[in-house]
Amino acid sequence: MNDTQFIQALQAIVGQDQVITEASDLEPYLIDWRKRYRGTALAAVRPANTHEVAAVVQLCAQEKIALVPQGGNTGMCGGATPNPQGRQIVVSLQRMNRVREVDTANQTITVEAGCILQAVQEAASAAGRYFPLSLGAEGSCSIGGNLSTNAGGTSVLRYGNARELCLGLEVVTPQGQILNSIRGLRKDNTGYDLRDLYIGAEGTLGIITAAVLKLFPIPVAQWTALVAVPSAEGAVELLSRFQAGASAQLTGFEVMSREALDLLKHYYPALASPLAADNAYEVLVEISDYESAEHAMALMEKILEGALESGCASDAAIASNLSQARKFWDMREHIPLAQADDGPNIKHDVSLPISAIPQFVSTCDEMLRQRYPGIRIINYGHLGDGNLHYNVAGPSASETESFFVNRQKEIQALVYAEVEKYSGSISAEHGVGQQKVGYLPDHRGAVAFSVMQSIKRALDPDNLMNPGKVIAL
């Protein structure tokens, strides 16, 4: 069938109003939120349920037209953006946003892929339960995207990333079949774990349409502190102290470099740190307690007292109320927004053994500053799980665009080479998308990459599921 007939066939499946072809209406589906990646498409399709997704995929498989799954379109690596050739369709899951079930006895919630993360958190809270996945984009990112990129966020230290929070999936295969593994089971040894194939695959093996997620009791109390440390070594020592003293009660441990805090202060002065500005790093620490607020506070104070006496911390402020705690978290969450206000920067979402982080930062900082005088290194991230957002910007806001265009590839190569020295990863929580697809073969090694290619060819032999992302065939 020709393009007109194909569009009409899509309309017959999802309704005429849910197939978007007008250029102005189609535009938001063709570009990522950072405006770094832009493509074209025949249409954006908005199915209402899993059966409509399956029918759309069957039609595309028949006509050999590739699909790009898209949720909240908040990704960092261009994984949900179509290519420039214009022969793909975007499958938007925004309408599939129902909470299907909350099972408080089983401590699970079953949601459709288009559910916004914040809505899942709120549904859990309304049922007297806690869903711990939390990240800066939680007001707009979707569960399908969170699972497809194996999102991390700020609570990985205690609860794990998206993979650990998922018990079961519903997936539409590249052939348009519905794989129903919607099970709220914590133990299931019946063959291969298909769930984990699709989590982190960025829609290259199938389209996640629903998931069963773990819930937890709501903590009785949470205490948040902002702590100044003199060095990256001091931050790691502080982490060790909190791990030893608080154990599983430690739910958040975020690190922010001085340059990151200075950038934040410049663009969001109301979020300036209350601590002295002569420290190299500040750490955001959160303790969650199931006993009492008094118990949590006593624990926080005891650990901080020891850290200040040892010298691994130089100053600290414990949030006295929810408003102040929210401000501390706003500081951390607004750093990426300050970066966006400043202009494009060269981003690295890397993970390393925690013990290696001080040496990695020291070596990388020195190497890059020598090669590119005046650069700004905006280093922050989830130190508790070894995930750094190690970003490089030009010497000033007026130079960010040209610096990004001219230096991105060489700086990424330098940083990734350092990551390899410590057996780290070039993608911790943002995925691979199209940004890092060229780096994956060397990073994962020939054998691992060959196995991944074999899986892709076996499940999607026509390469119709988000081609050009993650795995290059």
Give the H/E segment covering residue 280: none
Q: Is residue 271 in some structural domain? A: yes
Instruction: Kindly give the interhelix angle for 232-246 and 293-310, rounded to the nearest 10 degrees.
Output: 140
Return the closest-CA partner of residue 463 out of 209, 204, 207, 84: 204
Reading the block at residue 143, the tokens are: 């569960």
Q: Point out which residues pair with 225 in neighbouring strands.
A: 285, 318
Q: What is the pLDDT of residue 377?
A: 96
Render pLDDT for 240-271 as a digit per residue (tens, 0 to 9): 999 999 988 999 999 999 999 999 999 999 99
Q: Tell me the HSE value of 165 on the side-chain side, using a 13 A CA sphere.
A: 32
Cβ contacts of 238 within 8 Å, gap of 6 or more: 227, 229, 283, 285, 307, 312, 313
Render pLDDT for 171-219 as a digit per residue (tens, 0 to 9): 999 999 999 999 999 999 999 989 999 999 999 999 999 999 999 999 9
78 shares its domain with 108: no
211 shares its domain with 235: no
226 shares its domain with 356: yes
249 shares its domain with 147: no
Share above pLDDT 90 across residues of the chain, in percent, rounded to a whole number: 86
* Average pLDDT estimate for 323-343: 93
Q: Is residue 204 in some structural domain? A: yes
Last residue of a domain, one of 217, 232, 251: 217
- Tell me: pLDDT of 277 over 80: no
The letter for the amino acid at 307 is A
Instruction: Check if the beta carbon of residue 40 is closer than 8 Å to that of residue 85.
Output: yes
Q: What is the pLDDT of residue 218?
A: 93
Q: Is residue 19 in some structural domain? A: yes
195 shares its domain with 251: no
- Tell me: pLDDT of 287 over 80: yes
Q: What is the pLDDT of residue 405?
A: 87
Reading the block at residue 398, the tokens are: 């007026």
**CB atoms inside a 10 Å sphere around CB 64:** 10
Share above pLDDT 70 across residues of the chain, in percent, rounded to a whole number: 100
Backbone angles phi, psi at 128, to 5 degrees: 80, 25
Q: How, if at all, do strands 66-70 and 88-92 pair?
A: parallel
Q: What is the pTM of this model?
A: 0.92
183 shares its domain with 248: no
* Average pLDDT estimate for 224-238: 96
Q: What is the pLDDT of residue 296?
A: 87
CATH number at residue 70: 3.30.43.10
How many domains would you assign to the chain? 3
Q: Is residue 448 in some structural domain? A: no
Name the residue range of residue 279's domain.
Answer: 221-421
